[in-house]
Structure formats: C-alpha cells, structure tokens
C-alpha cells in the first residue's frame, strides 16, 4: 500500500492486487490529515488503507498498517468484538454507528474510539469504509461533568440544610416573638389594673379627703373672720384647693374617669379640649357617631392611641389644626387623628426610633386591631382600629 495515498484510494480488489489501483488513485491529503481516523477494511477484516491521522494516533506509519489484519491494532476483547459484532453488522446492515472500540497503540496503550462504518459492494468484494473518533477528551469532559454534578449536588444539599436551619430559626424566633407579645400584653393588663386602682384611690380617697379638708377650713374661717387666724386659714384653704385640682388632674391622667362613665367619645372630646387649652391650637373632636359600649381595656387602648397621635401632632407636625374622630366602620371601631402639618409617610412606622406609634400599634394588635398611617395630601392622618366583636362589652 502506498503510504502517501493511504486514505482516499480504495483498492478495487484485495491488498495484494491493489497496488496498481492504489498507485492510480490520486492521493487526497485533506482526508489523510482529516481530524478523525479513516481506514478501509476488506471482508476479512484486513486494512486496505489507513489515513495518517489514525496511523499517527497509534504511533505507526500508514504503510506499517496497510495490509495488516485490523486485529494487529486491537486488544483481545476488540478482536472478538470485531468478529462477532462489527463485521457481521457491516455485512448484514451495511453500516455501524457509534460503536465503542478500543484500539491499541504501538506501545500497547489503549486508545478509546467511536467507530462509524459503511459497506460498499457485497460478498467477498465488499469494502468497509470506516471512521474513528478518539474519545479520550470526551472521557475527561465526562469526568469534569461528573465532578461538577457532584459539586452541584453537594451545594444543593448544603443549601437545603441551610434553608431548613433558617426555617427552624425563624420558627424559634416566631415562638419567641409571640411569647414576648403575650408577656407584654399581660404586663399592659396588670398596668391597666394598677392604674385603675391608683386612679380610684386618688379620685375617691385623697380627692374626697382634700375636699373635706377644704370645707372644714372654710367653716373655721367663718368662725374666726377678721382675725389673723382667718387670713392664715384662707391661705390654707387655697393650698387645699390647689392640691385638690392637682390630684384630680393626676387621677384623670392615670385613667380618665369619663372613659368608664361617659364612654370613649366623651373622653376624647375632653382630651381634645384639654390639648386645645394647653397648646392654643384648634383641636376639634368631631361629633362621634353612635359607638358600642366598649370594654375597659379596648377603650383605654384607643384613648391612649389618640393621646399619642395628638402628642405627636403637637411635637412633630407644626400643625395649626387637629381633628379627632371616632366611630364605627364595617365591623371595626376606629379613632382617627388628622392634622394639617408637614405630613407623615406610611413607612415611618418601620423606620422610626421612637416608641410612641410602635407601642400604640402593638397594643392595638394585641387586641386584634391595627394602626394605619393613611397617605394624605395634606398633613398626617393616623387611624387606630379594633374589631367591634372583641372591643365591645
Ligand atoms: N403628626 C405627625 N406629623 C409629622 N411627623 C410625625 C407625626 N407623628 C409622628 N411623626 C414622625 O414619626 C416619628 C415617630 O413617632 P413616634 O411617636 O413613634 O416617636 P416619637 O414621637 O419620636 O417618640 P416617642 O413617642 O417615643 O416619645 C416621629 O419622630 C416624627 O418624626
Ligand atoms: Mg410620639
């Protein structure tokens, strides 16, 4: 076989009679150096021609392989495979596709290949044109893919572990938060009860006694009128009167008696009036619609909300007019404080370092309600809501 004409020439007969034909065929250097192995077998499995690419991959010169049985470059298992699969398939089907075949180099190393082949002609004159593609790199790629897949699986496992840890921590935090809320509510309830006690003893105890003292002094003054003692008694009566006023306002602060006796609407009207007197601003309680009778705690929570919102309007808004309104909308009772000041963004509740609005919001939430900062074209509009079902007695 002519080594220079190894690939493209295809002997018309067997190798021994093919020299003339081989010489006649023009060498095709493009196929000789094609990026795959090319060879032609006769029906007995003898190599009639081989291109340079394949010969070089096996570390032979083409002429060393031409005329040899293909077995020459096959390990034992490959030889069996050639005889039992490759040649029978080529004979019967006329082609083989992507068969795995390990070739053997001069040094005895295995060269894994994929083999495609087609039959030309039939019977003893059949020729099998074959192409091989080495798959060493593919093996490497497969290894890399396997490695990447293992890494991805490991990362996935890790992510899942982290996620489940995060979920666990979140559940713990939620449990902790709900226990803290329950505790805070209990503290609020105790404080309410304590304040109610203090308010009662201020109002019904100390205030009554101061009033009695005042009357007693007045009576004594009548008896000693015109004397120095009468003047001293007058200043004592003044002192008793001022103390009485202080005790009453203290008792009002602790728990406005109007809340229990006249209801939330009246207590808010009194609050608005007090704030107007104190600040000199126009603070108006809008006439309340009919309100259900509220239980002491919901009434106090709504009242404290109004106190906080009014205090904020005075401290932060620069408003000149403030309105307080309460009523029922749907199945909720609400208190709304609106001012005409510089305004308040709804997201302020999340950003603020102050505790006033947050505390009011928490107290409302604890009773199933909420605090809304309503976007308003002018000034701030803050509303506290409670469900009528749980707020009414
Ligand atoms: N009516 C309002 N107009 C303009 N800004 C307001 C108004 N109400 C509240 N703010 C703003 O929202 C912030 C949060 O109010 P919040 O009542 O929670 O805290 P605070 O009043 O600053 O402090 P604290 O109430 O704890 O004494 C205020 O600092 C203020 O910047
Ligand atoms: Mg405040």
Asked if residue 17 has pLDDT above 90, the reply is: no
For ligand 1, whether the C-beta of 341 sits within 6 Å is yes
How many residues does this entry show for the chain? 393
Question: pLDDT tens across 235-257, in order?
Answer: 999 999 999 999 888 888 778 87
Ligand 1 lined by 319 (C-beta under 6 Å): no
Residue with tokens 């990026």: 35
Ligand nearest to the CA of 345: 1
Q: What CA–CA distance (Å, rounded) separates 136 from 231?
A: 120
CA gap 284, 322 in Å, rounded = 6
Residue 316 Cβ contacting ligand 1 at under 6 Å: yes
Could you state, in order of their start, the residue ranges of all structural domains in the chain?
A: 6-134, 147-255, 262-391
- Whether the pLDDT of residue 24 is over 90: the answer is no
pLDDT value, residue 197: 84
Provide the mean pLDDT of the chain. Answer: 88
pLDDT at 384 over 80: yes
Measured CA to CA in angstroms, residue 330 lies from 89, 130, 333, 389 at distances of 85, 86, 8, 11
* Distant-in-sequence, close-in-space partners of 98: CB < 8 Å, separation ≥ 6: 114, 115, 116
In 3D space, the residue among 154, 141, 151 whose CA is nearest the CA of residue 112 turns out to be 141
Per-residue confidence (pLDDT) for residue 230, from 0 to 100 = 87
Residues 6 or more apart whose Cβ sits within 8 Å of residue 148: none
Closest C-alpha to ligand 1, atom 22 = 354
| Closest C-alpha residue for ligand 1 atom 4 | 317
Task: Reply yes or no on whether the pLDDT at 13 is more than 90.
Answer: no
Higher-pLDDT residue of 202, 113: 113
User: Ligand 1 centre from 340 Cα, in Å?
Assistant: 15
- Residue 253 confidence (pLDDT): 79
Average pLDDT over residues 117-141: 91
Q: Are 253 and 275 in contact (CB under 8 A)?
A: no
Tell me which CATH code domain 262-391 carries: 3.30.565.10
Can you tell me which residue has the tokens 């572990």?
Answer: 161
User: What pLDDT score does 21 carry?
Assistant: 41
Cα(239)–Cα(263) distance, integer angstroms: 32
Q: Give the position, in ligand 1's atom list, of the atom nearest the Cα of 315.
A: 21
Q: What is the pTM of this model?
A: 0.57
Beta-sheet strand order (sheet of 282-285): 282-285, 321-329, 332-339, 381-387, 370-373
pLDDT of 23 reads 39
206-227 mean pLDDT: 89
| 47 bridge partner residues | 41
Strands 110-120, 332-339: pairing is: unpaired
Take atom 8 of ligand 1 and give the residue whose Cα is closest.
312
Kindly tell me if the per-residue pLDDT of 366 is higher than 60.
yes
CATH class of the 6-134 domain in this structure? alpha beta
Q: What percent of the chain has pLDDT over 70?
A: 92
**Of 363, 47, 17, nearest to 184 (Cα)?**
363
Confidence of residue 68 (pLDDT cuts 50, 70, 90): very high
* pLDDT above 50: residue 8: no
Token readout for 232 is: 């001293």
125: left (phi over 0), alpha (psi -120 to 50) or beta: alpha
More confident residue, 352 or 265: 265
């Amino acid at each position: 076989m002519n080594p220079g004409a190894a690939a493209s020439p295809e002997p018309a007969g067997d190798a021994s009679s093919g020299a003339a034909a081989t010489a006649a065929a023009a060498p095709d250097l493009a196929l000789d150096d094609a990026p795959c192995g090319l060879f032609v077998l006769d029906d007995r499995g003898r190599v009639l021609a081989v291109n340079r690419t394949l010969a070089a991959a096996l570390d032979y010169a083409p002429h060393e392989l031409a005329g040899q049985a293909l077995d020459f470059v096959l390990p034992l298992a490959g030889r069996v495979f050639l005889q039992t699969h490759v040649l029978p398939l080529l004979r019967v089907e006329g082609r083989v596709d992507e068969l795995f075949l390990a070739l053997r180099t001069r040094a005895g190393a295995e060269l894994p290949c994929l083999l495609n082949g087609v039959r030309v002609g039939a019977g003893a004159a059949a020729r099998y044109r074959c192409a091989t593609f080495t798959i060493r790199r593919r093996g490497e790629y497969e290894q890399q893919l396997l490695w990447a897949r293992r890494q991805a699986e490991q990362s996935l496992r890790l992510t899942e572990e982290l996620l489940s840890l995060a979920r666990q921590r979140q559940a713990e935090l939620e449990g902790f938060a709900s226990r803290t809320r329950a505790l805070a509510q209990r503290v609020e309830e105790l404080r309410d009860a304590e304040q109610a006690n203090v308010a009662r003893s201020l109002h019904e105890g100390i205030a009554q006694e101061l009033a009695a003292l005042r009357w007693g002094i007045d009576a004594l003054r009548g008896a000693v009128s015109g004397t120095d003692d009468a003047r001293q008694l007058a200043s004592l009566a003044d002192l008793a009167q001022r103390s009485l006023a202080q005790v009453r306002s203290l008792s009002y602060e602790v728990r406005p008696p109007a809340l229990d006796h006249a209801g939330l609407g009246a207590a808010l009207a009194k609050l608005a009036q007090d704030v107007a007197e104190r600040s000199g601003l126009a603070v108006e309680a809008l006439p309340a619609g009919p309100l259900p009778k509220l239980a002491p705690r919901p009434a106090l929570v709504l009242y404290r909300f109004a106190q906080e919102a009014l205090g904020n309007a005075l401290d932060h808004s620069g408003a000149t007019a403030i309105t307080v309104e309460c009523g029922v909308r749907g199945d909720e009772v609400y208190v709304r404080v609106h001012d005409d000041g510089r305004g308040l963004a709804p997201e302020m509740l999340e950003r603020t370092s102050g505790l006033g609005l947050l505390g009011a919001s928490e107290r409302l939430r604890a009773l199933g309600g909420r605090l809304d900062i309503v976007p308003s074209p002018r000034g701030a509009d803050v509303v506290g809501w409670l469900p009528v079902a749980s707020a009414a007695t």
